[in-house]
Structure 1
Amino acid sequence: MDKNLFSSCPICGNKGFIIKHNSSGQDTITFCTCREIDKTRLLWKVSGIEKERNRLTFGSYKPYNEASKKAKGAAIAYFKNFNSIKSNRRNSIAFLGQVGSGKTHLSVAIGLNLLSKDIPVVYMSYRDEILKLKQNILDEEFYVNCLRKYKAASVLIIDDLFKGKINDADINIIFEIINYRYMNNLPIIVSSEFTAERLLYFDEGVGSRIIEMCKDYMVEILGKENNFRIEG
C-alpha cells in the first residue's frame, strides 16, 4: 500500500489508534481522527478519477444547446436524488448516443460529486479494462480480483461501453459485471455511443438490464449537431 496516501499524524504516530492508560491499570484503545482522513484519501485514490477532480466537473460542463442542457440537468438531478434511490432497482443513469456530446464529462462529474460525499465510486474505461481482463483470463487470481472490483463497487462508472470491435468474450465479461450489479441493486453510471435500442438489439441480456436500471435517468443524445467538438 502506498504510504504517501496517509497522514503523518502527530497524535497517534501513524498507528491509526490511541492507547490510553487509566488508574485501574486497564488500557483503552480508541481510533484516531486521522483514520477518517486517510480513508477519504484512499477512497479518491482507488476511484480512478482523482486526476479529473478539477477538470470534469458540473461547473466546467457548459451546455451548448438544448440537448446538452437537458443532459446536464439529468446528471445534477441524479446526483441530488442518489441517496433516495441508491437501493432501488432503478438507481442508475446512462448517457447514450452522439460522439462528442459530453457523456464522459457528465458521468465523471457525477462520480466526483459522489466521492465528495464519501460515497465510493470506481471508474472503468471499457476498452482498456476489457482488454486487460481478456489478456489475463488465465491468471485466475488477477482475473477474479479485477472482476470483483467492478462487480462489487458501491457505484461503478462504465465509460464508452461497447466501444470498438466486440466479440463474445467481451459480452460475457460485461454481462457478468452488469448482471451481478443488477441482482444486487448496485448503481451504474454508463456512457456509450450505442442508443438504448441498439443496446437492446446488440445483446438483450446486457441491454435490458441497463435499460431497466437506468429507466428513470436515460439520456439519449442524437445527431451530429450535438457533437460540440465540431459544432462548438
Structure 2
Amino acid sequence: MATQTMEEILRKLQIKTTQLLEEESDGSANQTYECTKCKDQTGYIGIDNGKEVWIRCTCITWRRVKRLMKSSEITEEFKRLGFQNFKIDDKPDVIKDAYECSRMYYQSFDSIKNNRNNSIGLLGQPGAGKTHLLMAIANNLLQKKHIPVLYFPFVEGFGDLKDDFDALEDKLGRMKTVDVLFIDDLFKPVSVQTKEGRKRKPRATEWQVEQMYAVINYRYLNHLPIMVSSELTVDELCDIDEALGTRIYQMCQDYTVVIKGDRKQLNHRLVGAPA
C-alpha cells in the first residue's frame, strides 16, 4: 500500500473537518460563529507526528471567562470597573489608602487565599468608591485568574429572595461555596426618625442576620475569601451580631480600610456641591 504524502493527508483532513462542521451546522451557509477558528467546536482536527488528533482551541480560555462572568451576576456596567478607571488624583489620603489596599489584596491573593486572613473589607462613607474598588478586584480575579466570584448586593439580593424559598436555598448554597464571595453594602443603613432626631438604623432583620451568619460562618470555617463593603464600621457590625462581626473582622483584618471624614470630600457624588 502506497504511503500517503503529507499533502494528501492534509487534503483529506480538510475535507473531513468541513464535513463535520457542515453536519454540526445543518449545512447552513449563513451561520455565524463566535470563534471562526474552530467554528464553535472548542477544537479542531490537526496533525501530530503524521496522525490526526483533536486540538483544543484557544477560545476555551475566553469561553471560560465568559461563563464565569455570567455566573458572577455582575452587571454589564460593573464589568467595566477596574483599577485603571478609579480616580485618586486630589483625593483624600484615606481614599488612596483604600485604593492601595485593594491593589495589594489582588496582588497577594494567590498567596493568602487559603489563610484565615484572606479577605478584604472597605467600610464607611458612602460614595467613596468602595464598590468600585472591590469590583475591580472581582473583575481581575475573573478575567485574569479565572477564579469564580459571586456578587451579592445585600439589599437587592435579599429583596429578590425573601418570597422564593427554593431560590433562597440555591443562592445561599452558592454564597457558601463559591471561590470568592463579594457582599456589597452589608446591612446598609436607613434613616429613621427618633425622639433625638433622624438617625441611621442598620437594615438588619433577625432573618437577614441569621442567613448572613450561616454564609459567613461556613466560609470562615472553610477559609473561603469574602470581599465586603459596608457603610458600617467594625464596631457597628459587632453591635448587630458580635459573632458575625468578629468573624468578618478576623477574616479581613489584614486588608481593612474604614473611610471617615468630610462627606463632601469623600463622596464623589457631592463633588462641587455648595457649602
Instruction: Please confirm whether the aligned pair reaches a TM-score higher than 0.5, indicating the same fold.
Output: yes
Q: Secondary structure at the match of 2:162?
A: helix
Q: How many corresponding residue pairs? A: 222
Match of 2:58?
A: 33
Q: Normalized against structure 1, the TM-score is what?
A: 0.84
Match of 2:161 in 1: 133
8 A contact 1:200–1:208 mirrored in 2: yes
CA distance in structure 2 between the aligned counterparts of 1:35 and 1:14, rounded to whole angstroms: 10
Give the drift of 1:29: 5.7
Change (3 A) 1:12 1:192: same
Alignment of 1:172-211 (within 5 A): 172-211=210-249
* 1:150 corresponds to which of 150, 153, 175: 175
Please give the alpha-carbon distance, in whole angstroms, between the structure 2 residues aligned to 1:215 and 1:196. Answer: 10
Q: Give me the whole-angstrom Cα distance separating, in 1, the residues matched to 2:62 and 2:132.
A: 27
Deviation (angstroms), 1:18? 5.0
2:148 aligns to what?
Answer: 120
Matching residue's letter, 1:86: K
Measured in 2, the distance between the counterparts of 1:148 and 1:203 equals 22
Structure 2, unaligned stretches of length 5 or more? 1-32, 190-202
- Note if 1:58 corresponds to 2:83: yes
Whether the aligned pair in 2 keeps the contact of 1:130 and 1:173 (CA below 8 Å) is: no
Secondary structure at the residue paired with 1:216? coil
Paired residue for 1:219?
Answer: 257
Partner of 1:42: 67
Amino acid corresponding to residue 192 of structure 1 in structure 2: S
Equivalent positions of 1:47-86 (< 5 A) are 47-49=72-74, 50-54=76-80, 56-63=81-88, 64-86=91-113
SS at match of 1:96: strand
What is the letter of the counterpart of residue 219 of structure 1?
Answer: V
Over aligned residues, Cα RMSD in angstroms?
2.6
Q: Give 1:151 deviation, angstroms.
A: 1.3
CA distance in 1, matches of 2:267, 2:229: 15
1:104 equivalent to 2:104? Answer no
The CA deviation string for residues 68-99 of structure 1, in whole angstroms up to 9 with x for no partner, is 11111111111111111011110000001112
CA separation in 2, counterparts of 1:223 and 1:17?
55
Larger Rg: 2
Instruction: For 1:222 and 1:163, locate their aligned partners in 2 and report how far apart those are by CA, in whole Å.
Output: 16
Shift of 1:13: 4.5
What is the identity percentage for the equivalent residue pairs of Structure 1 and Structure 2?
Answer: 40
Offset of residue 35 of structure 1: 2.7
CA contact 1:47–1:122 (8 Å) conserved in 2: yes
How far apart in 2 are the matches of 1:28 and 1:151?
Answer: 41
| Unmatched 5+ stretches in structure 1 | 1-6
TM-score by length of 2: 0.72
Deviations along 1:7-51, one digit per CA (max 9) or x if unpaired, are 6445555344557899xxxx9766443333311211122222243
- Which residue number in structure 2 is paired with residue 4 of structure 1? none
Describe the SS at the equivalent of 1:135.
coil
Which structure carries more relative contact order (alpha carbon 8 Å, separation 6+)?
1
